[in-house]
Amino acid sequence: MSWQPGFSRNDVEIITRKTVYRGFFKVSDLQIRHACFAGGNITVQRELLHRGDAVCVLLFDPVMNAVVLIEQFRVGAVDKSLSPWLLELVAGMVEPGETAQDVARREAIEEAGAIIKDLIPITRYSPSVGGCDEYVDLFCARIDAAGMGGLYGLDTEGEDIKVHVIPLSDAADLVARGVIDNAGTIIALQWLQLNIDKVQQAWA
């Protein structure tokens, strides 16, 4: 028997919602009443970070059996990782009127100079649902990585990006050794390892 949640959105009441910060991101303070497993309900106070939804895309060249990852500075890793310059997927925020596929194609050009030929959806997930409303659409994209590399990014967005073409086996090893330590990249690379035969057949 497959799992189903015991409650729905109808079992949650937002009593108050106040914006307490508005900058690059927005933060709300919420008072919430929700149902409890043992019966009755509980009232809690929570802060919620509004990031907007995002798209991450693993650029894969099935001929070279290589992936394209980007290296850039990440403020959230300053006090957490060995280096705050991380190897990541191409990614971007969903703007009004855009589909997730639109974002994947736009960001592939802006951040890596890559033209996407095909897209396979991998999954949709929340990176930190305990306090953030962001959801991420994750894709694998077929590209031609021949001659790729160099520096990219938009000055207007403060981006400073270096593009790397890496054999899939080497990228998998970086995940296994904990060198790649960001969620989207780990999920996408492990998905590709599990599905490499189907992906290669589809894109042969």
**pLDDT tens readout for residues 186-200:** 999 999 999 999 999
Which ranges of the chain would DSSP assign to H, the alpha helix?
100-112, 168-176, 183-202
* More confident site: 153 or 137: 137
Mean pLDDT, range 8-15, rounded to an integer: 96
Mean pLDDT, range 10-39, rounded to an integer: 95
Question: According to the model, what pLDDT value does residue 175 have?
Answer: 97
Show the 3-state SS of 101-137.
Answer: HHHHHHHHHHHHCCCCCEEEEEEEECCCCCCECCCEE
Confidence at 155, pLDDT banded by 50, 70, 90: confident
Is the overall model pTM greater than 0.75, yes or no?
A: yes
- How far, in Å, CA of 172 to CA of 187, rounded? 11
Residue 72: in which H helix or E strand, if any? Answer: strand 66-73
Residue 199 · residue 140 · CB < 8 Å: yes
Exposed/middle/buried for residue 139 (C-beta within 10 Å: 0-12, 13-18, 19+): buried
* More confident site: 25 or 60: 60
CA 178 to chain centre: 18
Tell whether the model's pLDDT for residue 117 goes beyond 80.
yes
In order of their start, the domains of the chain are 9-50 (no CATH), 54-202 (3.90.79.10)
Active site residues: 157
Taking CA atoms, 76 is separated from 49, 73, 87, in Å, by: 14, 9, 14
Mean pLDDT, range 121-146, rounded to an integer: 95
Mean pLDDT, range 9-25, rounded to an integer: 95
Question: According to the model, what pLDDT value does residue 14 have?
Answer: 96
Confidence at 158, pLDDT banded by 50, 70, 90: confident
Question: According to the model, what pLDDT value does residue 136 have?
Answer: 97
Question: According to the model, what pLDDT value does residue 96 have?
Answer: 92
